[in-house]
């Protein structure tokens, strides 16, 4: 016997038949509201009910577009990481000097952490090798994005080694991992609402620290 579709299933099916632009715009609105909720309540405290309240709609409406808080969070973080990757690749492939590339990328990534607080910090703490089966595809995609962002930093280091604007202090992958690790560690202490310094200031400071150890005197 074929199981009858649930009410939520019917609603979600109906929503997916909306004009493509309308459906995408509504999902974007929900995502924007969810960012505010995750920012205000954190991951554990957030819920679809809280997102619905932010939008002043019934919770059932959200189920047309997202099946769970986890799906909503996963899609938001993936979109943010994809934008960061696009930014990293654009900087790495640009015609500016490797020194300037590092300054701009380190600062831009830190600013992204601040602008998307606490989403990226929650994501950083996520063990991507131990998620539920329903999230395994998301986990795999996110790990690839992480590797691609790291590769953009590696490329910049290698460019600096090649034109001798950066000192060869170690393997590019080790240097890149150290830079990203320094940024990621800010999840332990940076809180935009209470910090005396902005994410932009922190990014610029870290960029100068990195370059102080890498810049060639020649």
Total-model pTM: 0.79
User: How does residue 140 score in pLDDT terms, banded at 50, 70 and 90?
Assistant: confident
**Does the domain spanning 1-67 belong to CATH 3.40.50?**
no
> pLDDT: is 63 or 157 the higher one?
157
At 70 the pLDDT is 87
**Whether the Cβ atoms of residue 11 and residue 60 lie closer than 8 Å to each other:** yes
Percentage of the chain beyond pLDDT 90 is 54
Q: Residue 20 is encoded by which pair of tokens?
A: 């493509």
End-to-end CA distance of the chain: 77
pLDDT tens by residue, 175-216: 999 999 999 999 999 999 899 999 999 999 999 999 999 987
Strand-pairing partners, residue 215, are 166
- In sequence order, what are the residues at sequence separation of 6 or more whose Cβ sits closer than 8 angstroms to the Cβ of residue 60? 8, 11
Residue 22 pLDDT = 86
Reported as a single tens digit per residue, the pLDDT across 77-135 is 888 999 999 999 999 999 999 999 999 999 999 999 999 888 888 888 766 566 666 67
Look up the CATH number of domain 73-218.
1.10.357.10
Angle between helices 172-184 and 98-115 (to 10 degrees): 30
Q: Which two tokens stand for residue 131?
A: 């998620």
Q: Is residue 8 scored above 60 in pLDDT? A: no
Structural domain spans, the chain: 1-67, 73-218
Report pLDDT for 134. Answer: 67
- Give the separation between CA 54 and CA 30, rounded to whole angstroms: 9
């Amino acid at each position: 016997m074929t199981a009858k579709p649930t009410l939520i299933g019917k609603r979600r099916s109906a929503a997916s038949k909306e004009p493509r632009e309308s459906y995408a715009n509504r999902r974007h609105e929900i995502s924007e509201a969810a960012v505010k909720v995750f920012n205000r309540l954190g991951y554990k405290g957030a819920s679809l009910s809280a997102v619905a309240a932010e939008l002043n709609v019934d919770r059932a409406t959200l189920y047309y577009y997202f099946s769970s808080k986890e799906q909503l969070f996963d899609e938001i973080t993936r979109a943010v990481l994809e934008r960061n990757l696009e930014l990293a690749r654009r900087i790495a492939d640009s015609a500016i000097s490797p020194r300037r590339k590092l300054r701009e990328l380190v600062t831009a990534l830190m600013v992204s952490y601040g602008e998307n607080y606490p989403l990226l910090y929650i994501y950083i703490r996520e063990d991507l090798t131990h998620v539920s089966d329903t999230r395994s595809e998301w986990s795999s995609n996110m790990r690839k994005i992480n590797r691609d962002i790291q590769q953009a930093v590696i490329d910049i280091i290698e460019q600096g080694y090649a034109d001798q604007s950066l000192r060869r202090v170690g393997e590019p992958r080790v240097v890149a991992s150290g830079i990203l690790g320094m940024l990621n560690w800010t999840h332990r202490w940076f809180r935009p609402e209470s910090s005396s310094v902005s994410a932009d200031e922190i990014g610029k400071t870290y960029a100068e620290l990195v370059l102080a150890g890498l810049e060639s005197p020649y």
